[in-house]
Structure 1
Amino acid sequence: MSQPQASGSSEGRERGDRAPTTTAVKVDLSMVNRGIWLVKVPKYLAARWEKIPGDVEAGKLKIYKTGADAAPRVTLSLSDATMCLKEPGENDIPREHSLIAGPVVHQTLAAFDHVTGISDALVQEPDKVSILGKVHQKLECRPPSDVGYMLMKKEEIRKASQPVRSVQQLDRVVNNYKPVADHKNNIEYEERKKAEGKKAREDKDKVLEMLFAAFEKHQYYNVKDLVKITNQPIGYLKEVLKEVCNYCVKNPHKNMWELKPEYRHYKQDVDD
């Protein structure tokens, strides 16, 4: 028996697995009347079959006729190639399995193959979808309930119960990081503060002189710009600004300062 092919429901494939596309794909129905079996196998057997190359025998099916009216007995015998694909430290899996048949009632199950097409500048091949057959029989692959199988299940349960992380006792201090005296952004901030120097309050007349000189160049200023021009603490500067300036709360000069009308001496246009 060659490596088994997985089968599934055409209804489930249509709902969940089909890639969304706007192009209609033709389905090959040449084998739609072919009868196939849908077999449920244990996880350890499916994992072992995944390792087998496509041209290597995976096992053999044996069908025994038990009587004229009785259902035939089906067994699966794994090949030597399947039994040899064992990881180091892994227990042997059972060679012989029984296949218990069950009816397909009120369902239409089918298996199909989907080959993704090629789309590039040189080759244009659409997706190929073909029906492999219709499920006529559902079977369940069961291992024998012998001592070997029980030991294998016991080992699987023991491995699954082991925690992923374990506590280790250290005999020395482990430093996973290198401590630093200070961070780069803190150093840059301190250097910038030192370069600016401490803002000392100037005489009020001196501050007003700097403000009037600034407003001779521009009509509106942001408070941050005035702090840079006068080099005064922002709280003290706002106290002086409230005496000689108005704070704009409407656009287009919102959040800016302007001299009060009595302190302005702008040249106004004279109509001819």
Structure 2
Amino acid sequence: MSVPIDLEKAHAPKDVDVSAAGRGVWLVKVPKYVSQQWKTCPPGTDVGKLKISKSKIPNKKPDIVFSTFNVSEKKTISSGQSPSVTSASSSSASSIVPLGQVPKVPLTQNHKFLVTNVGNQKLVVMSQARPDPNSSDSFSDKLCVEGKVMQRAECHPIVDSNYRLLKREQMQAHNTPQRQMKVVPMSVPHKPIRERIIYNEDKKAKKTDKRSRAEKNKVMDVLFNAFEKHQFYNIKDLMGITKQPVPYLKEILKEICNYNVTAPHKHMWELKPEFRHYKSADEKGST
């Protein structure tokens, strides 16, 4: 069910908080597995540590290394549970990660920042605070300018033992099929039957089910009772009613019925005039 949208309220001018517009911020592009972890973080959680070391070579940009924290490990530590640390030395007997699950990320993962200048671009970071879901006004979002982009950077992982372990688990998770065969430890009580066997049994049953001829008077009584309900029948319907062989049934029908070869009741049987006894409309109304 779609909720109607008030276009006037949606496009109405809104107040924007620009108190932090002069603050300088960095625009950083991070890998997908890092962003997936950050989405699960509550506000105010430390997600990593940034180390900036100046180069001894003049006119060279400083080296920036960003070490990310494993958010799931930090949660278990804060809750008092014992964390399960995944190390590179214990990766010889690694298990296959099921498809659709995020593979285990090492406790710390080092990344290198490749910093570039913004140039003549003017970029700002804005935030939008969602209103109270119980509120009737769905267009009261608060817009704020969080700062102006001063630097752009790309977060590239440093290829070490932890990163190789992460990529191996990602490949295993991607290559693991969704449907797998499992060995049933106990025997199955009902074995499957081939369709061909069932077909042959039905065919034999049809051959043995030979229709025997009934007395002529009994067959005629059944036909007369059927024609009292309907005026026209085809041969298949009469076979189902009388349960008689086709040649024997046609012999009786030729005596008491006429076969229509023209429309609108083509290829259907009807009682001969001398055997017909249909109630008129007056008789039906009186009854």
TM-score by length of 1: 0.54
1:151 matched residue in structure 2:
161
Q: 1:152 to 1:113 in 2, by over 3 A?
A: same
Q: 1:180 to 1:154 in 2, by over 3 A?
A: closer
Work out whether 1:245 is the aligned partner of 2:246. no
Q: 1:113 to 1:224 in 2, by over 3 A?
A: farther
Structure 2 distance, partners of 1:154, 1:224, is 74
1:189-208 equivalence runs, <5 A: 199-204=211-216, 206-208=218-220
Structure 2 distance, partners of 1:169, 1:213, is 61
The answer to whether the 8 A contact 1:227-1:233 is kept is: yes
Equivalent position SS for 1:201: coil
The answer to whether the 8 A contact 2:239-2:249 is kept is: yes
Work out whether 1:140 is the aligned partner of 2:154. yes
Structure 2 distance, partners of 1:129, 1:248, is 82
What is the deviation of 1:200? 1.7
Where structure 2 has 5 or more consecutive residues not aligned to the other structure, the ranges are: 75-82, 89-105, 282-287
Work out whether 1:22 is the aligned partner of 2:36. no
1:10 matched residue in structure 2:
none
Q: 1:266 to 1:59 in 2, by over 3 A?
A: closer
1:1-272 equivalence runs, <5 A: 22-23=5-6, 24-25=9-10, 28-31=15-18, 33=21, 35-50=24-39, 52-61=41-50, 73=62, 75=64, 78=67, 85=74, 87-91=84-88, 92=106, 97-104=111-118, 111-114=125-128, 123-127=135-139, 128=141, 130-133=143-146, 135-144=149-158, 149-162=159-172, 164=176, 174-175=186-187, 178-179=190-191, 199-204=211-216, 206-216=218-228, 218-221=230-233, 226-227=238-239, 229-233=241-245, 236-237=248-249, 240-241=252-253, 244-247=257-260, 257-261=269-273, 263-264=275-276, 266=278
TM-score by length of 2: 0.52
What is the deviation of 1:226? 3.6
1:16 matched residue in structure 2:
none
Q: 1:99 to 1:257 in 2, by over 3 A?
A: same
What is the deviation of 1:259? 2.0
The answer to whether the 8 A contact 1:57-1:79 is kept is: no
What is the deviation of 1:89? 2.2
Give the % identical residues: 31
RMSD: 5.3
The answer to whether the 8 A contact 1:248-1:254 is kept is: yes
